[in-house]
Structure 1
């Protein structure tokens, strides 16, 4: 089950920090968007955040699944739910970005219909104080993808 997090509920910060290691940035963008949570047997195992960025455009700025539930299709379910939510809310375009080293994420997003649109060079150097490594690769650039709805 996936649903929007109520305003009086505790933020699933542990999950959000799996996708974005900066608590400061997470708290900043979470205030501008909507957080959705995925439950399995009464436990929150996944989350994503949608924020409007431009007229008729929304972005998935964070998406994460508890590591013990990886490789079971839950990430894909979250992405597809975000796409359907964006359509339902009347957006015409949905965007997402990931680090240059996000091999699994890039494959998943393309399987869900996203296409690469640009690279934001040095994004992670400009916005994060500490270096980030993923799959043995330093995360430097943001690969941007989008999908027309």
Structure 2
């Protein structure tokens, strides 16, 4: 692969993410949810619900994007009245959404474990050693 590490990472990240999602969905028989919906569900589960504006801020998207996502996720996201403001709402992941995410996480971890086992011990060690640096890169990118 030509180019510096930045070009190589840029070229690999999207296909790697899509491959993990695709294989996990197929192996576990999960619905074909767009990545944006999965990201919103992960956020709602981790925060036990959020106002739409806060969800948009956390995801770094426009509030209209969150509204459009929620509109297509009727069985995965509930809109409940805010306890702080009677006019506002809080987005909450449904029990079905939590179950789907748990299934995805289990299947994804299992699939990655099996796939990593097919690599050489040296490659496995390199990938394990890279995880902390990738976390730090994500933090820098999110700043």
Shorter chain as denominator, the TM-score bin is under 0.3
> Higher Cα Rg: structure 1 or 2?
2
What's the TM-score once normalised by structure 1's chain length?
Answer: 0.25
Calculate the TM-score normalised by the size of structure 2: 0.25
Choose between structure 1 and 2: higher helix proportion.
2
Richer in strand (by share): 1
Q: Comparing both chains, which one has the higher relative contact order based on Cα–Cα distances under 8 Å and sequence gaps of 6 or more?
A: 2
